Chains A and B, each alone.
Chain A
């Protein structure tokens, strides 16, 4: 109502712009545009770019780590299988060696047994020989003694004969 300089029709018609407001609108909007463009937009863009980079970098790092882990796993598995193979080989070798040792020991034992048996045989033979030898001597002497006794006594009958032999044997036992 105080726009005295404006026509009545203009006051009532809301579609007629006012110079002051046009100027202010232009200036205010331009000011805001300058501020936002120079101060705000670059900073937000910077934040966006940095965030994108950070996320991308993080993802790349994660990928790298995963690759590394994969490689390590493959390497580990390889080593494991190699170790298993080695263990298998060692076991095989040990088994072969063990059986060889057992075989060797058995052979040795058999040899030893054979040796011992042979020695025993030999000693038995020797003893037997010795016994035969001594027996032979003794039997000779005994035969001679017996013969002399038989000869010394008259051997008329069977009873006497057997008596003589019994006495001889008794003597023999006593003399032992």
Chain B
């Protein structure tokens, strides 16, 4: 990034996109609660609520197109994520997983929606919050199911392992359950959205900058825009995938906490 910056700086003073582009200023004065990502998150909540309430309001046996669309998403989370992963107790976790999936998916897709064009999940605070929710839920479920003593014992001392191995395994398992899982969960989502948005910024702002340059650079500029458009499709895929992965991992962690033996 720095070399790119230097390269452009030598030209016409192109300022490459950096992590500073993610620090959007508050819209109203100094109020930190009025930034674009915050408005988008609230907007996503309203959008998801309105869409699914409208889709599920009639709960008809023969669904309308709207109900069918909503049902398809709901059934995907309910059957393919919750039921297949968690098993017979899945229904308790469907609301959470459903909220998680729709919330992440909508905010991710905002990253390529014209005018909005900013993935809220590239602000690390939101993935942190979601990871904390998942963290609390899957530990709570495990403790409720097995009792705190047994639950911790199962995490620290995996059954069926020779005793000396615990010297290595216990710290690894503890770190996995209490540090690595929530961190990877949030950072994976954050980093994907961050990097994707940065990539789009590079190509589109770069294309724009090239277009303002000399004639030779003008000719290159369409390629940069074409790449930007291509990457937008790619981003869409990543956005869906990340929403799926976050929800799937949450379901897996819950399933693991519910299982009698890890």
Interface residues of A (CB under 8 A from B): 1-4, 11-26, 28-29, 31-33, 35-37, 39-41, 43-44, 46-48, 50-51, 54
Asked whether, in the complex, the Cβ of A51 is within 8 Å of the Cβ of B61, the reply is yes
Asked whether, in the complex, the Cβ of B56 is within 8 Å of the Cβ of A39, the reply is yes
Residues of B within 8 A of A47 (CB): 56, 59-61, 63, 67, 71
> CA of A32 to CA of B71 in the docked complex: distance in angstroms?
17
Closest residue of chain A to B53 (Cβ to Cβ) is: A39
Closest residue of chain B to A12 (Cβ to Cβ) is: B19
> CA of A26 to CA of B99 in the docked complex: distance in angstroms?
13
Residues of B within 8 A of A40 (CB): 52-53, 55-56, 70, 74, 98
Give 1 or 0 for each of B70-114: 1 = CB within 8 Å of chain A CB: 110011001000000000000000111011001100000000000
Asked whether, in the complex, the Cβ of A36 is within 8 Å of the Cβ of B126, the reply is no
Give 1 or 0 for each of B114-152: 1 = CB within 8 Å of chain A CB: 000000001111101110010000000000000000000
Stretch at the interface among B6-14, B32-40, B174-182: B32-40
Asked whether, in the complex, the Cβ of B26 is within 8 Å of the Cβ of A2, the reply is yes
Stretch at the interface among B41-49, B155-163, B237-245: B41-49
Residues of B within 8 A of A1 (CB): 20, 23, 25
Chain A nearest CB, measured from B14 CB (Å): 19
Question: Can you list the 5 inter-chain pairs with the closest CB atoms, starting with the nearest?
Answer: A21-B125, A25-B129, A43-B56, A37-B95, A17-B125
Asked whether, in the complex, the Cβ of A36 is within 8 Å of the Cβ of B38, the reply is no
Report if B57 contacts A (CB, 8 A). Answer: yes
> CA of A39 to CA of B74 in the docked complex: distance in angstroms?
13
Asked whether, in the complex, the Cβ of A17 is within 8 Å of the Cβ of B124, the reply is yes
Asked whether, in the complex, the Cβ of A35 is within 8 Å of the Cβ of B37, the reply is no
Chain B nearest CB, measured from A158 CB (Å): 140
> CA of A31 to CA of B42 in the docked complex: distance in angstroms?
9
Chain B nearest CB, measured from A18 CB (Å): 5
Report if B253 contacts A (CB, 8 A). Answer: no
Report if B194 contacts A (CB, 8 A). Answer: yes
> CA of A28 to CA of B187 in the docked complex: distance in angstroms?
20
Known contacts A20-B33, A22-B125, A44-B74; is-contact A28 B61 (Cβ 8 Å): no
Closest residue of chain A to B19 (Cβ to Cβ) is: A14
Q: A21-B126, A25-B130 are in contact. List 5 more A-B contacts (CB 8 A).
A: A14-B19, A22-B128, A31-B45, A32-B102, A44-B71
> CA of A2 to CA of B20 in the docked complex: distance in angstroms?
11
| Chain A CB within 10 Å, residue with most, of B56, B57, B133, B187 | B56
Residues of A within 8 A of B41 (CB): 24-25, 28
| Chain B CB within 10 Å, residue with most, of A12, A17, A46 | A17
Closest residue of chain B to A2 (Cβ to Cβ) is: B25
> CA of A23 to CA of B129 in the docked complex: distance in angstroms?
9
> CA of A51 to CA of B68 in the docked complex: distance in angstroms?
13
Chain B nearest CB, measured from A5 CB (Å): 8
Asked whether, in the complex, the Cβ of B99 is within 8 Å of the Cβ of A16, the reply is no
Closest residue of chain B to A32 (Cβ to Cβ) is: B45
Between A and B, 5 residue pairs with Cβ closer than 8 Å are A31-B45, A32-B49, A43-B56, A44-B59, A54-B61
